[in-house]
Amino acid sequence: MPSSHLRKQSRLYRAVAKARTLWVLRSVFAKQPRAALEYVRSEELDNFTYEIGNEEELARFIADVLGVAPRRVAHLRCELQEDIALRERLAVKLRPRTDRRDEPLFGRRIGWYCMVRLVKPSLVVETGTHDGLGTALLLRALERNAEEGSVGRLPTFDIDAASGWLLEEHAMLERVVGDTRKVLPRTLKGVAVDVFIHDSATRTSTSASSSRQRSRARANAWS
Interacting residues with ligand SAM (CB under 6 A): 47, 109, 127-128, 130-131, 133-134, 157-160, 163, 179-181, 199-201, 206
Local structure of residue 220 (DSSP, 8 states): -
* Nearest CB to ligand SAM, comparing residues 111 and 134: 134
152 or 155: CB nearest ligand SAM: 155
CA nearest neighbour of 114 among 58, 168, 157: 58
Comparison of 143 and 160: residue with beta carbon closer to ligand SAM: 160
CB of residue 173 vs ligand SAM: minimum separation in angstroms? 14
Please, what is the minimum distance in Å from the beta carbon of residue 5 to ligand SAM? 12
Task: Give the Cα separation of 56 and 74 in Å (integer).
Answer: 9
Nearer to ligand SAM, 58 or 68 (CB): 58
Distance from chain centroid for Cα 4 = 20
Q: If 0-12 CB within 10 Å is exposed, 13-18 middle and 19+ buried, where does residue 9 land?
A: middle
CB of 134 to ligand SAM, least distance (A): 2
The number of beta carbons lying within 10 Å of the beta carbon of residue 56 is 13
Residue nearest to ligand SAM (CB): 134
Minimum CB separation of residue 199 from ligand SAM in Å reads 4
End-to-end, the C-alpha distance of the chain in Å comes to 31
Dist CA 106 CA 121 (whole Å):
21
In angstroms, give the least distance from the CB of 33 to ligand SAM.
Answer: 25
Nearest-angstrom CA–CA distance, 39 and 61: 29
CB of residue 138 vs ligand SAM: minimum separation in angstroms? 9
φ, ψ (nearest 5 deg) of residue 140: -60, -40
d(CA 67, CA 74): 14
Residue 128 or 152 with smaller CB distance to ligand SAM: 128
CB nearer to ligand SAM: give 59 or 159.
159
